Amino acid sequence: MAMNAQFFVLKQEDESNARADDHFALAADIAAQQYRQGQRVFIFVDNNEDAFAIDETIWTFDPNSFVPHNLQGEGPKGGAPVEIGTTPPVGNRKVLINLATNLPDFIRRFHQVFDFVPVEPNAKQAARERFKMLRQLGANISTQDINN
């Protein structure tokens, strides 16, 4: 089964305002949508700081719709429907939301990948590399512009 990858390209009217974590709110939104569609989601991050940041973002995102999520090593056996971490998730998760600089080594286990092209130049360059790698893996890639 082919992998599908969707890149969200963040556009900024004013580049001086670009924050490195602008896409975290978008990631929380996608996680909520996927959870409501019955998917088990893994959010891949570079480090604990980013893990705590997206964890917090999901908590505060939409008070009316609780999205069960946990950091790796916490939560129920097998993890909540949305799990956040830096190492391969336990159990069968087909949806990856990538907030890390590089794609995970275990990328092939996912059917659907969501990724982001931030405004900040270094982050944008890293996203280009991920895009190329997904293309080499034969993923069906689509892009969508997001105006901040």
Q: Give the pLDDT confidence of 123-133 residue by residue, as tens digits.
A: 999 999 999 99
- Smallest Cα–Cα separation from 5: which of 105, 126, 98? 98
* pLDDT of amino acid 65: 76
Q: For the segment 129-147, what is each residue's pLDDT rounded down to a tens digit?
A: 999 999 999 999 999 998 7
**Least confident piece of the model among 15-29, 55-69, 105-119:** 15-29
For 89-113, what is each residue's pLDDT tens digit? 988 899 999 999 999 999 999 999 9
Amino acid 129: pLDDT? 98
Name 145's Cβ contacts closer than 8 Å, sequence gap at least 6.
8, 9, 11
Per-residue pLDDT, averaged over 2-27, amounts to 80
Mean pLDDT on 4-24:
77
> What sign does the CA torsion over 60, 94, 46, 12 have?
negative
* 137 vs 120, residue with greater confidence: 137
Q: 18 pLDDT band (50/70/90 cuts)?
A: low
The percent of the chain in helix, strand and coil, each rounded to the nearest 5, is 35, 25, 40
**In the chain, domain spans:** 4-147
- What is the rounded CA–CA span in Å between residue 76 and residue 7? 30
The pLDDT value given to residue 20: 56
Give the global pTM.
0.92
CATH topology of domain 4-147: Rossmann fold (3.40.50)
- pLDDT for res 21: 62
